């Protein structure tokens, strides 16, 4: 049985060389004591793994070593990456961490209980050569009195998948990353109360954390349909802002052909601005973008986008670079 440590077959090596070349020209390089690279990625059903280089028709799960190696090449380009949809089965995550090596570590939640939680975890993977933990790890819980204050009938219960916050340090800069995966629901209106609750929680926390010179960054899958729609207004209702260079970026491999402005806005990286429009960050935002892995994986295999989504993901990673 092959492992990620083995020499890949020629067709897999060819894919990796093409992916590495793409990442080299589209992503910032890690620069010691100069920059910080954070990312968020909804990895579709990140759970078990078929330990074959390319899974066959009868193999289950469809995620294989070829797909996991592509995921690893992308993950290791960042300093900290928030991953959503990590499931109860950790086989793929364990193989990935072993391949990344001892310089990498992770923190994650337990699985979310209940049908709505979908057996999902929130996780952070980070490069210990570049960042270190600075002491805080917690889940966000809504105070009981908010359950009726946010909106009539809103937030009748806690978050289906509890947002997860962890603090990190890079040089002298400290920052809190909050990752979440908003419940999809039967229609988009069901997401508004949860987005409103998250926005309020983060706004109050940002005011407290700024007293301690912490930078607060929210990132994850917010399941927002379009900029300016009711979901977007709920998300930004307390001052959260997103970098403009993410406005034209597709979030899903199924949206990329629709053209600029017509894709979904599911995944976000956001922070707060003050009354003068200045970011409430001690770090300067430099640029942001996404990783389009689709042309560089499973080339020549003839897989559909749907098939690739189960092997790599249906979402693109989003990233942001900061000066530290």
Q: What is the pLDDT of residue 279?
A: 65
Domains in the chain: boundaries: 10-323
Q: What is the pLDDT of residue 258?
A: 46
Residue 168's SS3 state is: strand
CA–CA distance, 104 with 126 (Å, rounded to integer): 6
Q: What residue ranges of the chain have pLDDT lower than 50?
A: 113-117, 150-158, 212, 257-262
Residue 38 sits at φ, ψ, to 5 deg, of: -115, 155
For residues 278 and 241, is the Cβ–Cβ distance under 8 A?
no
For residues 50 and 60, is the Cβ–Cβ distance under 8 A?
yes
**What's CA 230's distance to the chain center, in Å?**
22
CA–CA distance, 40 with 269 (Å, rounded to integer): 8
Q: What is the pLDDT of residue 66?
A: 98
pTM of the model: 0.89
Q: What is the pLDDT of residue 147?
A: 55
Q: What is the pLDDT of residue 215?
A: 82
DSSP 242-306: --GGGTT---BTTTGGG-TTTS-EEEEEEEEB-TTS-BS-SSEEEEEEE---GGGSSTTT---HH
**What's CA 239's distance to the chain center, in Å?**
21
CATH architecture of 10-323: 4-Layer Sandwich (3.60)
For residues 265 and 251, is the Cβ–Cβ distance under 8 A?
yes
Residues paired with residue 284 on neighbouring β-strands, in sequence order: 323
| Cα dihedral 131/136/141/146 (nearest 10) | -100
Residues paired with residue 137 on neighbouring β-strands, in sequence order: 166
CA-CA distances (angstroms) from residue 283 to 150, 186, 198, 213, 280? 31, 39, 23, 11, 9
């Amino acid at each position: 049985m092959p492992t990620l440590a083995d020499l890949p077959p020629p067709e897999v090596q060819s894919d990796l060389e093409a992916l590495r070349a793409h990442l080299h020209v589209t992503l910032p390089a890690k620069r010691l004591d100069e920059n910080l690279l954070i990312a968020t990625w909804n990895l579709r059903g990140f759970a078990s793994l078929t330990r074959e280089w390319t899974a066959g028709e009868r193999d289950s799960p469809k995620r294989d070593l070829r797909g996991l190696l592509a995921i690893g090449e992308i993950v290791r380009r960042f300093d900290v990456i928030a991953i959503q949809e990590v499931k109860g089965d950790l086989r793929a995550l364990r193989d990935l961490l072993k391949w990344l090596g001892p310089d990498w570590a992770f923190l994650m939640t337990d699985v979310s209980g209940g049908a709505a939680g979908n057996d999902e975890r929130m996780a952070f993977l980070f490069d210990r050569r570049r960042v270190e933990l600075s002491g805080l790890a917690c889940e966000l819980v809504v105070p009981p009195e908010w359950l009726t204050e946010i909106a009539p009938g809103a937030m009748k219960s806690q978050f289906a998948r509890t947002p997860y916050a962890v603090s990190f340090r890079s040089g002298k800069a400290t920052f809190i990353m909050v990752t979440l995966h908003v419940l999809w629901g039967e229609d988009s209106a069901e997401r508004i109360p949860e987005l409103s609750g998250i926005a309020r929680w983060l706004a109050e926390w940002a005011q407290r954390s700024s007293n301690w010179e912490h930078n607060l960054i929210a990132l994850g899958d917010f399941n927002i349909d379009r900029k300016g729609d009711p979901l977007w207004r709920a998300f930004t209702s307390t001052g959260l802002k997103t970098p403009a260079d993410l406005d034209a970026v597709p979030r899903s491999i199924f949206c990329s052909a629709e053209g600029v402005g017509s894709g979904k806005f599911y995944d976000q990286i956001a922070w707060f601005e003050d009354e003068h429009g200045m970011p409430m960050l001690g770090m300067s935002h430099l640029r942001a973008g996404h990783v389009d892995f689709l042309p560089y994986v499973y080339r020549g295999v003839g897989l559909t986008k749907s098939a690739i989504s189960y092997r790599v993901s249906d979402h693109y990673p989003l990233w942001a670079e900061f000066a530290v």
